[in-house]
Amino acid sequence: MSGFRYERTPIDEETGRERVGSFGLILQPYTREEAVLEGQRCLQCAMPFCVQACPITQDCRGYLGLIAQRRFDDAARLTLLDNPLATVLCKCCYHYCEEDCVMGGRGTPIAIRHLKRAALELGRSDLVYVPSAPRTERIAVIGAGPAGLMAAWELGLRGYPVTVYEQAAFLGGQVETIPRYHLEGTELRRDLDRFRDLDITFVTGKRAGEAFTPESLLKDGYRAVYVAIGASDPRALGIPGENLPGVFPALPFLLSVNEGPDGLFGRKNRRVVVIGGGDVALDAARSAIRLTNGGDVTVVYRRTREEMPAGAEEVDEGGEEGLRFLFERAPIEIVGDDQVRGIVVRSVRPGPADARGRPTTVEVAGSDETLPCDTVLVAVGERADIAALPAELDLSPSRHPWPEGKRPDWMTDVEGVFASGGKSVVYAMAAGSKAAEAIDAYLAKKDGRNPLPRPDPFGGGGTAPGPPKGYGGPTWTL
Ligand SMILES: Cc1cc2nc3c(=O)[nH]c(=O)nc-3n(C[C@H](O)[C@H](O)[C@H](O)COP(=O)(O)OP(=O)(O)OC[C@H]3O[C@@H](n4cnc5c(N)ncnc54)[C@H](O)[C@@H]3O)c2cc1C
Ligand code: SF4
Ligand code: SF4
């Protein structure tokens, strides 16, 4: 047999019991030797499926090869060359690359995301991005989540002056709601530190639709506007009792947990029910079990475990931490007086497919049961809050919960205004990158010049290298 090592160099992690009551990072970093060992497992494939699966075509094959040669400084630089939010992503990316790594066919995929962390933590990552010659066309970005930040980076590198308007007091959008056991909270600041020489101005506490509109920004002299407002308006359950004290939407709850030691509901509550089956529901439930020091936390989901949209890793780890799961149950009513006392749920069974062939569910009459609880966390999805934005833009969500321009380059119905977003941090970054290219192409066409390719982000002259040799085109769509 060959000398391939099919199994991953183990990553130290806290046990389920250690994790309860602690918001410390679960995954511990590789040592230098462990990182080199894992990097050396990479086959350096001529056709790098890992790169093709990465929405921002991060040259992961490249940095794995450099780590294998112990060249950590070079690995950090290569990582940051096409990934300006790498410090965030090295801990929280859903690592689409690893799903397509060929080593997964026989053993465990290379720990591509964890080695990105090794590159940045063991190599020199306090680098600074260098803008090209300044341009005069001002561009506005609305929303400082990963999509808006990536667009600002792309445009700032090309020399455009960019103003990012953000309604919140902080930057990062939904990244700020990611629990501390995945992301410590200082990562985004370290990434944005590298932006300091780009001509990007951040204006926080300014909400589009109130202080200004995309059209008013165009009138104020911005040549293009990118609307990157994401989807963080919580959907309601639409059942009686939803307004009782003790019922919280998951996003504000998660944000409050990250902001203060006791979160929105303090540590006094012990019996929590979380409604939903996605990653946000799991984040809320796993945060609640930490906050209540191993309290009674039940996740209620209307379909089966196999159908849960949450990642298997999250569900497994949540189980190790003591979460209880109740599948095939629908919430019917939240009961209580001056506080939640319980939630009534009803059994649900698979029903016939609907007209479009999608599986449906039917509620089983007479199967109601009341789960005693004092807190209900609602995580049944989010949508964009576009109520205050002008209807002429036609930002109504279509394929996705976030607003997207309906033209192929994501221009909206108003010329010069673009809109998009993404289902995860790296997908949102890819959307921001494409939007920036579209804005640059739009301005180039208007001004009768060629579009500007992404320059070398570290000012080496020429253009950025782009996807590595062997790259065969993306395997994903936004
Ligand atoms: C709890 C939670 C955990 C997650 N965990 C992960 C994870 O581990 N890994 C991962 O890859 N992804 C994760 N995601 C998903 C990821 O965070 C999002 O897909 C991503 O942030 C979307 O980026 P965006 O820029 O499109 O939108 P957002 O991040 O939502 O950013 C939009 C920004 O626009 C601002 N805004 C909205 N309306 C206006 C307005 N009218 N005027 C001005 N500003 C406005 C918002 O305040 C926000 O800052 C998680 C999401 C949540 C909610
Ligand atoms: S950004 Fe995410 S998908 Fe891309 S290489 Fe890194 S871990 Fe993989
Ligand atoms: S697919 Fe896997 S083995 Fe091949 S280059 Fe990518 S990380 Fe290395």
Is the domain of 315 the same as that of 353?
Answer: yes
Domain boundary among 65, 89, 122: 122
Helices (H), 123-249: 146-157, 187-193, 214-219
**In the prediction, which pLDDT does 261 show?**
63
Give the residue numbers spanning the domain of 35.
16-122
Residue 441 CA to residue 368 CA, distance in Å, equals 58
Residues 370, 256: one domain? yes
For the CA of 425, the closest atom of ligand 1 is 11
The tokens 């036609």 sit on which residue?
A: 394
Asked if residue 316 and residue 243 are part of one domain, the reply reads yes
Q: Are residues 272 and 360 in the same domain?
A: yes
| Whole-number Å distance between alpha carbons of 154 and 160 | 9
313 lies in some domain: yes
DSSP 398-417: SSSSS---SSTT-B-SSTTE
In a domain, 471, yes or no: no
Residue nearest to atom 4 of ligand 3 (CA): 45
What integer pLDDT is reported at residue 268 of this predicted model?
A: 64
Closest ligand to the CA of 115: 2
Structural domain includes residue 338: yes
Number of domains in the chain: 3
Place of tokens 């290298």: 465
> Ligand 3 mean position to 101 CA, how many Å?
5
* Average pLDDT per block of 10 residues along the chain, 478 residues long: 81 86 91 98 97 97 98 98 97 97 95 98 98 97 98 98 97 97 97 98 96 96 98 94 95 91 63 96 95 92 93 93 96 95 96 82 94 96 90 82 92 96 97 98 97 95 89 85
Based on the fold, state whether residues 245 and 377 are members of the same structural domain: yes
Please check whether residues 211 and 89 belong to one and the same domain: no
pTM of the model: 0.96
227 shares a domain with 149: yes
Ligand 1 close to Cβ of residue 228 (< 6 A): yes
251 and 341 together in one domain = yes
**Around Cβ 17, how many Cβ atoms within 10 Å?**
11
Binding site membership of 422 for ligand 1 (Cβ less than 6 Å): yes
Cα 119 from Cα 121, distance rounded (Å): 6
Distance 281 CA to ligand 2 centre (A): 23
Name the amino acid, one letter, at 12: D
CATH number at residue 97: 1.10.1060.10
What's the confidence (pLDDT) of residue 263? 59
**Which residue pairs from 20-24 have beta carbons closer than 8 angstroms and sit at least 24 positions apart in sequence?**
20/289, 20/290, 20/293, 20/294, 20/321, 20/322, 21/290, 21/293, 21/294, 22/181, 22/290, 23/179, 23/180, 23/181, 23/257, 23/287, 23/290, 24/180, 24/181
- The residue type found at 232 is S
- Domain containing 420 — which CATH number? 3.50.50.60
CA distance 217 to 140: 7
| 375 and 391 within one domain | no
Q: Is residue 1 part of a domain?
A: no
433 and 332 both lie in a single domain: no
Give the pLDDT of residue 14.
84
- Same domain, yes or no: 205 and 114: no
Identify whether residues 299 and 428 lie together within a single domain: no
Last residue of a domain, one of 326, 354, 381: 381
- Spatial distance between the Cα atoms of 305 and 57, rounded to a whole number of angstroms: 32
Q: Which ligand is nearest to the CA of 177?
A: 1
